[in-house]
Amino acid sequence: MQLILPSFIVKIKLTYIILLACFSALGQDKSFENVPGKTRIEILGADELVYKQAIGRYQMCKGNVRFKQGAMFMDCDSARFYEDINKIEAFGNIYIRQKDTLNLWGDAVEYDGDTRQAKIMENVKLSDGKMVLTTDQLNYDLVDKIGSYNTGANIINGQDKMYSDLGTYYSRTKDFFFKDNVKLTNPEYTMDSDTLRYNTKSKLASFYGPTFIKSEENTIYCQYGWYNTAKEVSQFSKGAYIQGKDNKLVADSMMYYRNTGLGEAFGNLHFEDTSEQIIIKGQYGKYERFTKTTFITGEPMAIKNIDGDSFYLRADTFLDLADTSNSQKRMLKAYHDVIAFKSDIQAIADSLVYNFTDSTIGFFKNPVIWTDSNQVTGDTIMVYRNQFGLDRFEAYTNAFTIEKDINGLFNQVKGRRLNGFFTKGRLYKVEVDGNGQSIYYALEEGQKYYGVNEVVCGKMVVNIDTAKRIRSITQKNKPKATFYPLEKFPTDKSRLPGFDWKGIFRPTKSIFY
């Protein structure tokens, strides 16, 4: 059949089958046939066709227009079909689908059938069946299945909602790459980032620039990390910190498992609690949110403000415990090779327990504490404070206190249990309960020794004056006291059984820096 086209517009209204036959013959470009890698765009249907030759040789399709190219179908209200160059300009109610992998909607589209590139404009929506993207303009490659935008877009994927100024979507891998003014919102938190990668299948969000994650509980910052929004697992690094209402944690990297409440911090850990006025440092930390338990190791150190003075603490391991039923009850436990320093007390022990409520400190397993010129040892030592500072200590089992005087002599008191009492940081009284023994060197006012007192009794009270000298001893329960002139005091009695002066181990502030 030979078709002769007039110079004026030919309007055709035919049935669906006749339209297909006409479109196959109209303006067909023979040079296009048999070109490797190219697929012709087909018109499957339209209510009306207007063929225009004068202006660019295109076919104007109107009403229920449908095109097909390979596995791609396109529906629209109207279109200009440039058959000889394999291009479409479509308008109104655009709907593009590609098997089960792609659904695209918009008000207008420019489509190149050779490159398979589509530019969708106005009220654009893209969906893979679960994820929905909306934007003003989207460029989509139907070969590589890649879409990109630079006019801002909103994405909804389950409970995750996202926005960015720029973005690229890789349909094959279900990956989004967001850039500039990126925001991800979830019922539990909001995330603001410079650059973000998000997989719609795994719901894994990876961030590659300054990122803030905010929730009711805290704010998280990092410059690199990832967050699996499905499994509620996250990792943060590069300048990472977590800022709570009254605390802040900084570390080289962190892991957090929201569902189990487990958090881990790795490398150069720095935790500060402003409500309790404490700083804890270490190399590894683990936090159990539901039990309110914190475990810290890797040469940990704590600095606690007590009475306006810093209490320094080192050990192999710290365990910070809070009462889940009473937020006011909290304690810090330190295990193995404990070293403690404060201006009015220093100590070493195997383990320690600090009570945040009343600042009570318990030292356990071979503890030694020093206050001023006094050393106290025992199997267990408890130190109590009041609003003025040190209040008293209790030493249990094999309790021993030694005071080294200005001349290097040792005044000693030992017993089954010792209770020491302080005033203005000075030890002024020691009560001995059970198997009491003491040796003290008697001084005259001119700092001259005139003798040595040896006392053995069940109970005694030792009173110490402001010059740190034993002023008197009150003896109870069958006391036995002997006074020796200094020159006649037996050398073998100068040390009570169990005497062990450990002055060389006394901590100084310098070891904490």
Question: What are the tokens at 215?
Answer: 């929730």
Is residue 229 within 8 A of residue 217, CB to CB? The reply is: no
Instruction: With a cut of 70, say whether residue 464 has pLDDT above it.
Output: yes
Task: Output the pLDDT for position 11.
Answer: 39
How many angstroms separate the CA atoms of 479 and 375, rounded? 25
- Which of 29, 109, 125 has its CA nearest to residue 74? 109
Local structure of residue 441 (DSSP, 8 states): E
3-state secondary structure (DSSP) of residue 97? strand
Beta strand 361-364 with 253-257 is unpaired
432-461 per-position pLDDT tens digit: 999 899 998 887 766 788 889 899 998 889
How many angstroms separate the CA atoms of 390 and 13, rounded? 103
Task: Output the pLDDT for position 339.
Answer: 97
- Which of 152, 147, 81 has its CA nearest to residue 111? 81
401-420 per-position pLDDT tens digit: 998 887 888 999 999 999 99
Local structure of residue 503 (DSSP, 8 states): G
- Which residues on adjacent β-strands are paired with residue 155? 133, 162
Q: What percent of the chain has pLDDT over 90?
A: 61
Mean pLDDT score, 237-261? 92
Burial class from Cβ neighbours inside 10 Å (0-12, 13-18, 19+) for residue 50 reads middle
Is residue 43 within 8 A of residue 19, CB to CB? The reply is: yes
How many angstroms separate the CA atoms of 512 and 508, rounded? 8
The pTM (predicted TM-score) of the whole model is 0.79
Confidence of residue 10 (pLDDT cuts 50, 70, 90): very low
Apex 376 CA angle, 375 and 380, nearest 5 = 155
Confidence of residue 476 (pLDDT cuts 50, 70, 90): confident
Burial class from Cβ neighbours inside 10 Å (0-12, 13-18, 19+) for residue 142 reads buried
- Enumerate domains of the chain plus CATH numbers: 8-31+41-151 (2.60.450.10), 367-513 (2.60.450.10)
Is residue 176 within 8 A of residue 168, CB to CB? The reply is: yes
How many angstroms separate the CA atoms of 411 and 401, rounded? 8
